[in-house]
Structure 1
Amino acid sequence: MRTAIVLFAFSAFASAVPVREEQADFEYPRFIQFPDGDGVLHTVDLQEEVDHNLLEEVQRNPNNNLYLLFTRRNPHTSQTLVINDRNSVLNSNFNPSHPTVVIAHGWFSNQNTDLNPVIRNAYLDKGEANVIVLDWGHLAMGDYVTAMNGVPTVGRGLGQFLGFVHETTGAPFSSMHLVGFSLGAHLVGFAGRELGGAIARVTGLDPAGPLWNSNSDHLGPNDAVYVEAIHTDGGTVGGFGIGTAIANADFFPNGGTSQPACITSICNHNRAWELFAATVSYNHLTGKECSSNLQISLNTCRGQSLQMGNDDLRKWGSGKYRVDTARRYPF
């Protein structure tokens, strides 16, 4: 991955521009900078030729994607669940009477990326849960364009895996919550779509913007019973995330373009999963519904309230919401 030449740099200070519907038509320049899971910027050529050999390998060998189970009985050491291997599930600590949450990382990341243990620990410190970390690093560690083109395949594979878990254990789809960050947000959308929208919740954490703004297959409101998106770096001039409403309920923390104590887009982008993990623990961030994007930008939203994030599987809401947060955890 080429990193030496910065051909397109995001501003160090995110501008406080209004969130605008026109972002759906925003076209990124050919060369951009996009972060990996550790917050390191890489130069991305959005016109790079797709690595079809890698895509075909992912399609042929779905077991390249790992499903790693953590529960309160094994909070730090994973158990590997394998699709179509009933014993891998039945002999594990998976409990169908507990809620199941799947965490999907973004580009150039894997099971060791920070968001996985942070979200995992938030759930397991709170109560019983089957936390499944999806490691799709075999594809995600490839170039951005190839990874982006492989998201539908990995997402559909995740949906099929959850269908297998449902058939094997009886765990209902109504007890499942899929959480994806950046490219992973669109991935979990495809997983929910594969199951006909039967999953209880899908949450997209700052869904990736490059090559997705005008892509009709991005995360959408029909991918689960309830779909939520949290936008933290959606500025119209090259933000890492999609800056417009795409879900049932869309939250724009602090306006959705720049976050308190952040001076880079990387910090803004990662704040989405940091905020989500905090809401699982405390359920303390309340959004106010906004009637326009201008209200989001000016912080004049006065509509109904809806809690952002959290682990409520019966949650539902619609509309656009602004929520103001503090500078430090738990925000």
Structure 2
Amino acid sequence: MMKMASLLLVAAVLAVTASAVPLTPEFSEQRVYPRFIKFPDGEGVLHDVDLEAQPQQDILDEISRNPKINQYLLFTRHNPKSAQLLLDNEESIKSSYFSPNVPTIVLAHGYFSSQSTPPNPRLRDTFLEKSDVNVIVVDWSQVARSDYVTAVWGVPGVGRALGQFLAYLNSVTGAPLDQMHLIGLSLGAHVVGNAGRDLGGKVARVTGLDPAGPLWNLNSNRISPNDAIYVEAIHTDGGYLVGGLGIGTDVADADFYVNGGVDQPGCQTHVCSHMRSYRFFDASVKYNHIIGKECSSSLQITLNTCRGQELHLGNDDLTKFGSGRYRANTGRRYPY
């Protein structure tokens, strides 16, 4: 009798444990957000968002009329802290410190942000300390600081403008597209995806740092594997059941679900987990030490049972390649 009771207790515990693990995959195209959400800017400040609001047509019209709506700020080892404004004219570019003989890193901020908000300063400094590169910070704040729905609708135009500028940079200086790495956080991930697409997928890399989720799950303008020779996404806040800020589904050649891709060690909020994506990437550029293992299913990602081939997350390798979905595990504190 005692043995039977013990077996029943074990069965009950297993049933409860199983119910705690979602059998429906966390990573779904069919996510439904509530109408009213809060979405963070680059400083982590939350803004009220109505996902059913009508976009501001005057701002969208301005993007169509004025492809120069973005600003492009150049930093090099000659001017690591003081930006040079690049214009789409030959004199502006040739009189700057831009060098076509070294790689070009392009950084795009997210919602309600600007050139000076995370992740731009940190990633700029990391890349310039690591190697001799051009760092171009894209300031698209004129659109990003509108309401969230307008910013989402504006992303394709902003991305096309960036792509056109990089094409002009290539034509004026000869800087090869396959020496360019475009990196964007949140909404900025979709911006750089659209820029890469405008360039025919010929840039070396596009990296999306927890690409934004709301209004993007079934959006054909989101970051995609065709946007560069190699496209990578780093997912850190993509929970389906808990309303994560990231897209939480495969969008790239290689998709990394860090610590499961839903929430991050040491984080108590979605904002913290969402922003942790650029910190992981920053650490990977410095140390190239975060390694993912390929997963065959969403359940493997959730249960941390991935046993496939290994691939390094992030880093600055312009010849990097890989495909599939990966789980990478990290610690709680930098460099993780």
> Which runs of 5 or more structure 1 residues have no equivalent in the other structure?
1-14
Mapped partners of 2:21, 2:283: distance in 1: 24
The residue that corresponds to 1:8 in the other structure is none
Structure 1 position 47, deviation (Å): 0.9
The structure that has the greater radius of gyration is 2
Structure 1 position 23, deviation (Å): 2.2
**For 2:192, what is the secondary structure of its paired residue?**
helix
Change (3 A) 1:111 1:249: same
Matched, 1:324 2:307: no
Match of 1:127 among 124, 128, 131: 131
2:163/2:195 contact within 8 Å kept: yes
Mapped partners of 2:168, 2:79: distance in 1: 22
Counterpart mapping for 1:95-110 below 5 A: 95-110=99-114
The residue that corresponds to 2:270 in the other structure is 265
TM-score (norm 1): 0.93
Matched, 1:215 2:198: no
Counterpart mapping for 1:273-284 below 5 A: 273-284=278-289
1:94/1:130 contact within 8 Å kept: yes
One-letter code of the match for 1:36?
Answer: D
Mapped partners of 1:17, 1:164: distance in 2: 49
Mapped partners of 1:79, 1:59: distance in 2: 26
**For 1:76, what is the secondary structure of its paired residue?**
coil
Mapped partners of 2:283, 2:50: distance in 1: 34
Deviations 1:109-146 (A, max 9, x none): 00110210111011001110000000000110000000
The residue that corresponds to 1:12 in the other structure is none
Matched, 1:185 2:189: yes
Match of 1:66 among 59, 67, 71: 71
1:19/1:297 contact within 8 Å kept: no
Match of 2:307 among 296, 302, 307: 302
Matched, 1:161 2:157: no
One-letter code of the match for 2:237?
Answer: D
Match of 1:240 among 238, 245, 262: 245
Structure 1 position 16, deviation (Å): 7.5
- Superposed CA RMSD: 1.3
Deviation beyond 3 Å, 4+ runs, structure 1: 15-19
2:27/2:298 contact within 8 Å kept: no
Mapped partners of 1:312, 1:126: distance in 2: 12
The residue that corresponds to 1:29 in the other structure is 34
> Which runs of 5 or more structure 2 residues have no equivalent in the other structure?
1-19
Mapped partners of 1:163, 1:174: distance in 2: 12
Mapped partners of 1:183, 1:75: distance in 2: 25
Structure 1 position 17, deviation (Å): 5.3
Mapped partners of 2:53, 2:24: distance in 1: 29
Matched, 1:42 2:16: no
Mapped partners of 2:67, 2:43: distance in 1: 25
Match of 2:80 among 75, 84, 96: 75
2:140/2:158 contact within 8 Å kept: yes
2:26/2:240 contact within 8 Å kept: no
Structure 1 position 59, deviation (Å): 2.5
Mapped partners of 2:83, 2:25: distance in 1: 42
Mapped partners of 1:192, 1:147: distance in 2: 19
The residue that corresponds to 2:8 in the other structure is none
Of the two structures, which has the highest relative contact order with CA contacts closer than 8 Å and spacing of 6 or more?
1
Mapped partners of 2:326, 2:99: distance in 1: 35
Change (3 A) 1:197 1:67: same
Mapped partners of 2:63, 2:202: distance in 1: 25
Deviations 1:216-272 (A, max 9, x none): 221110110000000000000311001111110000110000101000000000000
**For 1:108, what is the secondary structure of its paired residue?**
coil
Mapped partners of 1:121, 1:18: distance in 2: 42
Mapped partners of 2:77, 2:246: distance in 1: 33
Structure 1 position 157, deviation (Å): 0.6
Mapped partners of 1:272, 1:283: distance in 2: 15
